[in-house]
Amino acid sequence: MNPVIPGFHPDPSICRVGDDYYLACSSFEYFPGIPIFHSRDLVRWTQIGNVMEQPLSVEVPSSAGVYAPTIRHHDGRFWLIVTIMTVEGPVNVLFNSTDPAGPWSDPVRLPGVPGIDPDLAWDEDDGCWVTFAGMGQVRIDPWTGENLAEPREVWNGTPGALAPEAPHLYRVGDHWYLMIAEGGTERGHAVSIARGPAPDGPFEPCPANPILTHRGTHHPVQNTGHADLVQAADGSWWMVFLAVRPRGGTPGWHVLGRETFLAPVSWVDGWPVVGEIVSGVPAGPFRDDFDLTELQPSWISVRSRPRITKERPDWLTLHARGASLDERDVAFLGHRAQHLRWRARTLIDPSHGRGGLAVRLDERHHYEIEAGDGRVQVIARIGSVRSVVAEHAVTPAPMVLTVETGEPRVPGDACAEPDTLSFGIEGSPALAILDGRYLSTEVTGGFTGRVIGMYAATGAVHFDWFDYEEL
């Protein structure tokens, strides 16, 4: 069952303008931040830009950074509110733009909005309401970020439920609805909803809560939650939400991160009822020959863009800064993995440095094939252990490095890995085949998924092209 936006694209928020839909996702420590997608049918999506062009501090830990945006359209303008999680704590900011592809405004800080996962809604008097995890609420001036009242607590979800978060407030008919996620973003994740007569309640919970969850089931899509609602031009209602596709033995490992799924919504007795997941269109192949002066919007780096030059025509050159993917400021240019089985390749010339092709979860969990100094190495970093698992002498010359995923080595075994990752030089046998579970969220922790990309460890490393395809 395919997501509508596959790969590491969590915390979806959606709005409609005419026949066009726009969707934003979390990006955490990756730069540029907050990808924006466009669709005409809710199933086929194209990334049109990114909101945040400001680099993140190297001090921002992995799985911190940009959390849970909400995108809305009001009075001819797009608004996006989001949490930036720093080492000092959360900072909420607000962007606006007349074009969702950008450019977006500089961020307006919201010092009076605490918590995370902020939402935006406007009432009939043009009052702007921010609801945030906690479950607090406050009216603000969206242009200045100033609070217009004191924050107050509203409905906080199911009593005793873990992690009430991701609030979204809607006016539907005669009621205001407050929808939240709860149960944590793991297997217990769920969506619940309440309604009331005004934006600030009082709210009564839906008697059928949770309105969406796959916990305790054999459904192949799990961790369903962090949802947003949108009404189509024909009057139908739809829900986008995050979920994962675990694989392998017990307890199951998901490796692509939390992805964006879609389901229809009907209204029964004034409450939303969520239908079966709509299967999306599988993502196509991705290739970049680096012929253009600008990078495609789906390319991401860690915290900030490294120094990239075009000193060779139609080649991309990465200049090293951190010495390896263990470093927070590594020179890395990556593409989100979007399929359960895939192959990535790049033509590299390491004659003036050392670098290669990597699969990254964070600084403590990554695999890479690295060329330079007359040799090719396969390196595995798993927690506190870093190991060269294979090494091969080569003649210094351009070469094609490859990495691809494969099936578990013992399918059906209770301890089977979700997949394997095979690293090599094109035209030669694989240098190493590694267990995929160690690049999964269940092992690494955090909120992100696999990102595949090129990096430079020393000097200047040249790349002629990069391609990625489903197997």
Active site (catalytic) residues:
11, 165
Beta bridge partners of 259: 243
* Dihedral sign (CA 178, 179, 185, 190): positive
* Tally of CB atoms within 10 A around 278: 17
Measure the CA–CA gap between 316 and 289, rounded to whole angstroms. 9
- Is the Cβ–Cβ distance between 394 and 424 less than 8 Å? no
Which residue bears the tokens 């919970």?
Answer: 205
Dihedral sign computed on CA atoms, order 158, 160, 162, 168 = positive
